[in-house]
Amino acid sequence: MGRKNKRGALKPDLTPLIDVIFLLIIFFMISTTFNNYGTIPIELPSSTVESKKENKAVEIIVDKDGRFYVSADGKNQEVTLEDIPNHLQGVEEVTVSADRNMKYQTVMDVMTKVKEQNIANMGLTFYE
């Protein structure tokens, strides 16, 4: 338990005491509740539910013969490539549907016309 000094006196072993002190420190750290002294009370504003705006979506169809159709409200209207931007006023979403065997450059021309109108939500689909 202890050691003899040169003079023969016993010296107590402090290792178990240090272990107990560390266990007590860990216990008190875990069981302590922390107070939030620096909190600021915030009142969040209440919101009212607004009706969702009607999403204006347009589909531009490119067929295998290279003709362009703008489909809005379920009606397909044949248009030219230069006339496509006129049909995209106030539109939030555009889907470009093209024939799988179509030249990709034609599809890219349509996508460029859509991008010129600053429409961020654009989809691309292919059909056979």
Q: Give the mean model confidence (pLDDT) for residues 64-86.
A: 86
Q: Tell me if 78 is assigned to some domain.
A: yes
User: Residue 89's domain spans which residues?
Assistant: 57-127
Q: Tell me if 26 is assigned to some domain.
A: no
Q: Tell me if 2 is assigned to some domain.
A: no
Total structural domains within the chain: 1
Q: Give the mean model confidence (pLDDT) for residues 76-100.
A: 87
pLDDT-derived band at 35, boundaries 50, 70, 90: confident
- Angstrom CA distances, 38 to 51, 100, 113, stand at 39, 63, 55
Q: Give the mean model confidence (pLDDT) for residues 3-28.
A: 85
Q: Tell me if 29 is assigned to some domain.
A: no
- pLDDT of 53 reads 55
Q: Tell me if 30 is assigned to some domain.
A: no
The pTM score is: 0.55
Q: What is the mean pLDDT of the chain?
A: 82
Q: Tell me if 44 is assigned to some domain.
A: no
